[in-house]
Amino acid sequence: MPITEILEENCRKFGDDICLVEINPEIQEVRRVTWKEYELTEPAPTAHYRREITWNVFNEKANRFANLLLSRGVKKGDKVAILLMNCLEWLPVYFGILKTGAIAVPLNFRYASDEIEYCLNLAEVDVLVFGPEFIGRIEEIADTISKNRLLFYVGANCPSFAEDYSELTANSSSQSPDIKLTDDDDAAIYFSSGTTGFPKAILHNHLSLMHSCKVEQNHHGQTKDDIFLCIPPLYHTGAKMHWFGSFLVGGKAVLLKGTKPKTIIEAVSAEKCTIVWLLVPWAQDILDAIDRGDIDLSKYELSQWRLMHIGAQPVPPSLIARWKEHFPNHEYDTNYGLSESIGPGAVHLGVENIHKVGAIGKAGYGWKTKIIDENGQIVKQGEVGELCVSGPGVMTCYYNDKAATDEVLKGEWLLTGDMAMEDEDGFIFLVDRKKDVVISGGENIYPVQIENFIRGYDKVKDVAVIGVPDSRLGEATMAIIEVKDGMECSEDEINEFCLKLPRYKRPHHIVFEDIPRNPTGKIEKPKLRKKYCGESVVAKQNRG
């Protein structure tokens, strides 16, 4: 069934229950919100900006936006882009788009003006909804992008080149529009992370979205009583699809703006959160803050917190060992997926398999996996090959890019571009991205293996390994290392620590600097390659 029916069902069953809470710790002064459907909690001595809505209000706001779009001629198959920071309006806007039969197109909040315009054109977007943080960027391109599309602004002080979302939706009908949807109808376009240049537009249908709801709830057993803390940006499949597990059962979610360790712990305690999805850097920061004494866990109510899970990148086993020292009662899970497979869950570890930390797990609920060589043949257990996944969550295509689609869709199978191996117990270990493999002196070197090893050094906060040109070896490995706050580390220390590695895996070059990561936690290796390898090498790698 279309995913919009879940919202209608939650409204019927739990209409007066709180479903979404927004917290912004950066706004210390609690402002009085004038919209009648919003209620602010009585501020504490150090209160943050906090808003909440019920399922009834969620559904009503989605209906109002849907009817506004329909009144402006938006029809089934049209595209409506969302450029908002996480806020209470984000999800009602998303579901309002889906209720019209149009396609929701979330945009990365880090996009520059030229990237925004590129994505709007690639996805053939008809309407753009944007917030106050993006006025400057949209203004730069307003003359060109407004010629053939509507611009709606969410926030106070609407700019002259857009229309006021709040004013228009307030005067729109709150009744659900009578638009018939099917599982096969297109639902959303998500953009790839853009780690190899400008992003691709990934098209999914309603069946994909529904499958992600079922996968997440099957893996983590959300109930109506669970409270999910959502920190990552909603434009990405990871955050939204993890929330889908709570959405399916009518559970509450807390949208937290901010990733500081104390902010996260405070939110878990104050909002009684039971499930938290973290990125590796955030988990590391929390542990470091605890170890430094910046966070005293005894001052917080954390007994209800039952599950911490991580995705978006390989997880160092040493990190989870540290986590269990401080949070021994937590269930833990690793989730693997990509936007082309509707986000997390195509492979997952499972809370019962913590003894296999380091693996990404086995095929998720409703998914199949295989690992193949360059000829498309399944490799033997223990051998490295490209991971492929198959299931109801595989994308329809890269929108307007048949050549790119044909490269990765082979019948029912999606080629992930990730190199992996399966152990004797059937657990899959991620080795590296296919394009990140370094070939040095004829040897295939997988940077993730070296990164996981170096992270075991107690002074290392983060590390990225790339290949740099070498006249003798073709490529040589370089380790870019970010040192923990307040610590000093030398090249000699790292070289000595790496003596435990086979000689060919030891980094040839070591530099110390901060590691760039995108909003979904992935290391931005193209930036590092551009800096240390030059434009020509990066262009070649981007072409694959």
Give the model's pLDDT for residue 314: 66
pLDDT tens, 519-535? 666 788 878 888 888 64
Report the distance separating Cα 489 and Cα 492, nearest Å.
9
Give the model's pLDDT for residue 343: 84
Report the distance separating Cα 440 and Cα 417, nearest Å.
20
Give the model's pLDDT for residue 517: 81
Average pLDDT on 384-411 reads: 95
Predicted confidence (pLDDT) at residue 435 exceeds the cutoff of 90? no
Task: Return mean pLDDT, the chain.
Answer: 88
Place of tokens 């919202």: 7
Taken in order 24, 30, 36, 38, is the CA torsion positive or negative?
positive
Predicted confidence (pLDDT) at residue 509 exceeds the cutoff of 90? yes
Report the distance separating Cα 75 and Cα 69, nearest Å.
8
Give the model's pLDDT for residue 485: 87
Predicted confidence (pLDDT) at residue 29 exceeds the cutoff of 80? no
How sure is the predictor about 141, in pLDDT bands with cuts at 50, 70 and 90? very high
pLDDT tens, 436-454? 778 776 667 878 889 888 9
- Domain ranges (residues) in the chain: 4-220, 337-436, 440-542
Q: Are 120 and 162 in contact (CB under 8 A)?
A: no
Give the model's pLDDT for residue 195: 43
More confident residue, 236 or 72: 72
Predicted confidence (pLDDT) at residue 163 exceeds the cutoff of 90? yes
How sure is the predictor about 102, in pLDDT bands with cuts at 50, 70 and 90? very high
Question: Which residues fall within 8 angstroms of residue 338, CB to CB, at 6 or more apart?
Answer: 346, 416
Give the model's pLDDT for residue 48: 56
Task: Please report, rounded to a whole number, the percentage of residues in the chain having pLDDT higher than 90.
Answer: 67
Predicted confidence (pLDDT) at residue 87 exceeds the cutoff of 50? yes
Predicted confidence (pLDDT) at residue 515 exceeds the cutoff of 80? yes
pLDDT tens, 203-252? 999 999 999 999 999 999 999 999 999 998 899 888 889 999 999 999 99
Give the model's pLDDT for residue 193: 66
Predicted confidence (pLDDT) at residue 143 exceeds the cutoff of 70? yes
Predicted confidence (pLDDT) at residue 323 exceeds the cutoff of 60? yes
Beta strands in 326-427 (DSSP E): 331-338, 343-348, 362-363, 368-372, 385-390, 397-398, 409-410, 413-422
Predicted confidence (pLDDT) at residue 303 exceeds the cutoff of 80? yes
So what CATH class is 4-220? alpha beta
Give the model's pLDDT for residue 411: 94
Beta strands in 10-87 (DSSP E): 18-24, 49-54, 79-83
Amino acid at the residue 435: K
The token pair at 34 is 């004038």
- Phi then psi for residue 151, to 5 deg, are -120, 120
Collapse the DSSP code of 71 into the 3-class scheme (helix H, G, I; strand E, B; otherwise coil) and give the result: helix
pLDDT tens, 166-210? 999 999 999 999 999 999 999 999 998 654 456 899 999 999 999
How sure is the predictor about 398, in pLDDT bands with cuts at 50, 70 and 90? very high
Instruction: Put residue 382 in one of left, alpha, beta given phi > 0 → left and psi -120 to 50 → alpha.
Output: left
Predicted confidence (pLDDT) at residue 42 exceeds the cutoff of 50? no
Domain 337-436 has CATH 2.30.38.10: yes
Domain 440-542 has CATH 3.90.1150.10: no
pLDDT tens, 460-492? 999 999 988 887 677 889 999 999 988 999 999
How sure is the predictor about 313, in pLDDT bands with cuts at 50, 70 and 90? low
Predicted confidence (pLDDT) at residue 543 exceeds the cutoff of 50? no
In this structure, which long-range contacts are made by residues 435-440, counting pairs with CB atoms below 8 Å and at least 24 apart in sequence?
435/196, 435/541, 435/544, 436/466, 436/525, 438/465, 438/466, 438/467, 438/475, 438/477, 439/467, 439/474, 439/475, 440/467, 440/470, 440/473, 440/474, 440/475, 440/476, 440/477, 440/504
Give the model's pLDDT for residue 331: 95
Give the model's pLDDT for residue 84: 96
